[in-house]
Structure 1
Amino acid sequence: MTSSFEELLPGTRRALSYRIATAQAEGRAPSCVAAVQRAGRTVWTGARTCVEGHAPGGDTQYRIGSITKTFTAVLVLRLRDEGLLDLGDPLEKHLPGTGVGEVTVAQLLSHTAGLPAETPAPWWERTPGSLRPELADVLGERARMHPVGRTHHYSNPGYTLLGRLVEAVRGRSWAEALRSEVLEPLGMRRTGPEPEAPYAGGWAVHPWADVMLPEPAVDLGLMAPAGQLWSTADDLCRFAAFLAVGDDRVLGADSVREMRTPAAPAGPGEGAGGYGLGLQIVRAGQRTLVGHSGSLPGFVAGLWVGVEDGLAAVVLTNATSGLSAPAVAADLIGIVAEAEPRIPEPWRPLPEVDQELLALTGPWFWGTAAYALSLTADRGLQLQPLRGTGRGARFAARPDGTWTGLDGYYLGETLRVVRRADGSVSHLDLGSFVFTREPYEPGGVVPGGVDEGGWRGL
């Protein structure tokens, strides 16, 4: 028996509508549009506005602020995957003359380069980019505020440098590279550096009175890779689907997974979570969300992907403050995840069996700690402690017959199956740790040897 769970239940839809209605009313936002995606498909959209008959839709553009940084990070990872740079490269290798050339590409992506959070005055988000025509105008006299590589300090100028890096390596503008390499392949036709109707105007709402003031929507110039983009709820759902599973036309699944992996802890006052390579990582209750928040005068945006739940949510609003779009987006994911938990795929046996791998499965011992080695559906191996806590990991096969750790303590470490002269398995070597079939088995290759007296009581 199979069932379709593509559509949300009426009660879930009402709970989502209620959440954005209260957010718009209590946050006193001129408008708010939201969408929820499940398993790569948009299953709900909603909108609220204070203007009768003019509710925004999934195709209405809003400024998305720092969500732009994730797009810039994708462009940089593409350069890495093409072999045009390494994340460990110093900036000077590809973009000389910045004055901060010793910082690495990875440090810029993860906000650990020690750069300032903002540009020198005037306030860059509310003034034209023409006031900052050179990188020196973006970085200022105090280009490094913290030790390089030791502190997570969110930096908008750091992503300006990454945008210029893309331009230097590609030989074309950041906007052109973004359009052809990311937006067009993902079908994001309503995303770009300039607004195209229909789009929302940005507003400031008075903190002590129900009156509004228009906010300027300026071209950010060199700061564009940090926050320039306009987008829609529909387009950001397409981007969320990409962030969940990757797309070989843009970035493969392994590289997207790398973006989602914490590269730096959260800074002081930033709450639990951390930062990957262009992606924020937050804890919302018992679930982990990856994505990004964004704001510019007149706009707040939030995009989160709950990879384990197969869910994503986007919230866009056109008010400078009041409605926390990232918090509401997290709530929308929580509503669906709790009301309609993900239905697991049915169990299926493997299509074929490698008898040599099958013989490796079962219990192994690291000293006296018991572990189980099992086969995974993707023809990998998984090592897990049998009781208590321990260092587990998944492993992928290499062409040379060894295995590479994919996560946890053994990420990147090598697992080798060591055989005796007759071809039988002697033990497993995992980063020099020896795993044997019995705890300290007699005659086993155990570093330090095994006491000849064997096991004994008091």
Structure 2
Amino acid sequence: MTSQGELLPGTRRALLHRIAVAQTEGRAPSLVAAVVRDGKPVWTGARTSVEGHAPDENVQYRIGSITKTFTAVLVLRLRDEGALELGDPLEKHLPGTGVGEVTVAELLAHTGGLAAETPGPWWERSPGSLRPELADVLGVRPSLSPPGRRFHYSNPGYALLGALVEKLRGDAWEEVLRREVFEPLELHRTSVRPQAPYAGGWAVHPWADVMLHEPTEDLGRMAPAGQLWSTADDLARFAAFLVKGDERVLSPESLLEMRTPAAPHEASDVASGYAYCLGMEIRRRDGRSLVGHTGSLPGFLACLMISVEDDVAAIVLANCTSGPLLFPVASDLVRIVAEAEPRIPIAWKPLRDVDPSVLELTGPWYWGTQAFALRLTADGILSLGPLSGSGRGSRFRPNGDGTWTGLEGYYADELLKAVRRSDGSVSHLDLGSFVFTRQPYDEGAPVPGGVDPEGWRGIG
């Protein structure tokens, strides 16, 4: 799979050193990791042994809640096909759950107000046969707070999303996942049940260097929240997909939506730089934003993290219930590669052709007295941003009718258009009711509230 020579020897040694420290200090029976750059696996490393042989990128580990990202992909596929809307209440498609007012988006973002866990025995360490129906997953008090108010991580919420997929597809969640995600992305070593070679799950005694075997349960109805087994190789391929997309599975635009924060921030989240999206997490460390998901089940830890800006991803898998903290390890692997071998920017090239009516819009504009610049880039995108300091900005894609739609930030999905006078000259830019003029409070433009007819003056 991996050409180790794609990274410099010093970088490879730094990566190996990092996972060696993690495995030793975290007392993990085994640990395997992979790094992806520019959409391709460029390094794998492993420490100690799995069932008597050295682990590699093809050994399966249980990945826990990274399963949720796979389930979210299926839901977004249904949305893109028009089978549902993210704002739809669950009751519209899956009636009779008792929590039907919760929307699909709220389930994806853990903002539905549902309990974190199922009632009864610890579901991760007990057979799924104890919870044959959704009612057994939800219990008599499934909701803890009104939907939409706060982020509260809910495993049962993803069981509901798996049931939603089954209802709309008319097939088992695992079969839909195999057909619509595993096969097109060639994830041949990702499965609902372990396939040899795979790591056994262990608990490491907190005060002695001895281990206890953990049970490996089939989670039944809870499978969409944490059932999957995978490998460093397959997760490297999946990480590349989560950035670049694959039209056979999900478009880059829908994946960008999945990577966009969707849950309200708590004070602790703001301080830690944590946010939840649609089946993915965003975490900040050392000034770098990383998106992906962590996972754990008794006997296993997993982490997949991507720096979209650096186009570097890292996967770390270990077979222990607790021990090494895998997010710091994954983020360090990303940092090592990004800093030792920084991304080479794409060479600048000019536009082939330019529409004069678009070119005349470029340059300085004023929102009130704040100066902005509108630029036209080689990909045909308009970029609006403040000339100095901080302020609202966005890139805008053309709609083909003389208008543009915002791609991010405050102006995401807002419409930008040039308003012209009867003689064809540009009067102003209209952006979501904001008027941008060529001069501060231009008296020749329809500035809301009007412009003082005495004009600009000093104090004397």
Q: Determine the structure 2 residue equivalent to 1:205.
A: 204
Structure 1 CA distance for aligned equivalents of residues 435 and 8 of structure 2? 52
The structure-2 alpha-carbon separation of the partners of 1:426 and 1:267, relative to structure 1 and needing over 3 Å to count, comes to: closer
1:401 Cα shift?
Answer: 2.4
TM-score, normalised by the number of residues in structure 2:
0.96
Structure 2 CA distance for aligned equivalents of residues 230 and 76 of structure 1? 20
Answering whether residue 358 of structure 2 is matched by residue 377 of structure 1, we say no
Structure 2 CA distance for aligned equivalents of residues 183 and 261 of structure 1? 24
Structure 1 CA distance for aligned equivalents of residues 415 and 241 of structure 2? 30
Q: Determine the structure 2 residue equivalent to 1:445.
A: 446
Q: Give per-residue Cα distances to partners, 1:138-183, cap 9 Å, x unaligned.
A: 0111110122100100000000000000000011010011011111
Q: Determine the structure 1 residue equivalent to 2:92.
A: 93
Structure 1 CA distance for aligned equivalents of residues 157 and 226 of structure 2? 12
Q: Determine the structure 2 residue equivalent to 1:112.
A: 111
Please give the secondary structure, in 2, of the residue aligned with 1:36.
strand
Q: Determine the structure 2 residue equivalent to 1:316.
A: 317
Alignment map for 1:13-412 (pairs within 5 Å): 13-50=12-49, 54-267=53-266, 271-412=272-413
Structure 2 CA distance for aligned equivalents of residues 444 and 112 of structure 1? 44
Q: Give per-residue Cα distances to partners, 1:158-216, cap 9 Å, x unaligned.
A: 00000000000011010011011111111100001011111000011111111111111
1:50 Cα shift?
Answer: 4.9
The AA in structure 2 aligned to 1:235 is D
Structure 2 CA distance for aligned equivalents of residues 80 and 195 of structure 1? 30
Q: Give per-residue Cα distances to partners, 1:285-323, cap 9 Å, x unaligned.
A: 111100000000000000001100010000000011011
Q: Do 1:153 and 1:267's aligned partners in 2 also have CA atoms closer than 8 Å? A: no
Structure 2 CA distance for aligned equivalents of residues 123 and 440 of structure 1? 64
What is the aligned-residue RMSD (CA, Å)? Answer: 1.5
Q: Do 2:63 and 2:230's aligned partners in 1 also have CA atoms closer than 8 Å? A: yes
Listed as ranges, the gaps of 5+ residues in structure 1 are none
The structure-2 alpha-carbon separation of the partners of 1:261 and 1:366, relative to structure 1 and needing over 3 Å to count, comes to: same
Structure 1 CA distance for aligned equivalents of residues 47 and 7 of structure 2? 20
Q: Give per-residue Cα distances to partners, 1:247-271, cap 9 Å, x unaligned.
A: 1111101000000000014556553
Please give the secondary structure, in 2, of the residue aligned with 1:65.
coil
The AA in structure 1 aligned to 2:284 is R
Q: Do 2:63 and 2:296's aligned partners in 1 also have CA atoms closer than 8 Å? A: yes
The structure-2 alpha-carbon separation of the partners of 1:292 and 1:257, relative to structure 1 and needing over 3 Å to count, comes to: same
Structure 2 CA distance for aligned equivalents of residues 428 and 269 of structure 1? 39
The AA in structure 1 aligned to 2:341 is E
Question: Which segments of structure 1 move beyond 4 Å, counting only runs of 4 or more?
Answer: 50-53, 266-270
Please give the secondary structure, in 1, of the residue aligned with 2:65.
helix
Q: Determine the structure 1 residue equivalent to 2:415.
A: 414
1:445 Cα shift?
Answer: 2.1
1:442 Cα shift?
Answer: 3.1
The AA in structure 1 aligned to 2:106 is Q
Q: Do 2:116 and 2:153's aligned partners in 1 also have CA atoms closer than 8 Å? A: yes
Please give the secondary structure, in 2, of the residue aligned with 1:442.
coil
The structure-2 alpha-carbon separation of the partners of 1:400 and 1:339, relative to structure 1 and needing over 3 Å to count, comes to: same
Q: Do 2:284 and 2:290's aligned partners in 1 also have CA atoms closer than 8 Å? A: yes
Q: Give per-residue Cα distances to partners, 1:60-118, cap 9 Å, x unaligned.
A: 00000000000000000000000000000000000000000000000000000000000
Please give the secondary structure, in 2, of the residue aligned with 1:158.
helix
Q: Give per-residue Cα distances to partners, 1:367-424, cap 9 Å, x unaligned.
A: 1111100112321211111112211111112243221111111112111110111111
The AA in structure 1 aligned to 2:117 is E
Listed as ranges, the gaps of 5+ residues in structure 2 are none
Structure 2 CA distance for aligned equivalents of residues 121 and 325 of structure 1? 29
The structure-2 alpha-carbon separation of the partners of 1:345 and 1:159, relative to structure 1 and needing over 3 Å to count, comes to: same
Structure 1 vs Structure 2: percent identity of aligned residues? 70
Alignment coverage as a number of residue pairs = 454
Q: Do 1:175 and 1:193's aligned partners in 2 also have CA atoms closer than 8 Å? A: yes
Structure 2 CA distance for aligned equivalents of residues 272 and 425 of structure 1? 42
The AA in structure 2 aligned to 1:166 is V
1:342 Cα shift?
Answer: 1.3
1:6 Cα shift?
Answer: 7.9
Please give the secondary structure, in 2, of the residue aligned with 1:184.
helix
Structure 1 CA distance for aligned equivalents of residues 57 and 6 of structure 2? 18
The AA in structure 2 aligned to 1:179 is R
Please give the secondary structure, in 2, of the residue aligned with 1:300.
strand
Please give the secondary structure, in 1, of the residue aligned with 2:360.
helix
Structure 1 CA distance for aligned equivalents of residues 268 and 454 of structure 2? 57
Please give the secondary structure, in 2, of the residue aligned with 1:360.
coil
Please give the secondary structure, in 1, of the residue aligned with 2:253.
helix
TM-score, normalised by the number of residues in structure 1:
0.97
Q: Do 1:203 and 1:215's aligned partners in 2 also have CA atoms closer than 8 Å? A: yes
1:275 Cα shift?
Answer: 0.4
1:51 Cα shift?
Answer: 6.5
Structure 1 CA distance for aligned equivalents of residues 208 and 49 of structure 2? 15
Q: Do 2:65 and 2:226's aligned partners in 1 also have CA atoms closer than 8 Å? A: yes
Please give the secondary structure, in 2, of the residue aligned with 1:257.
helix
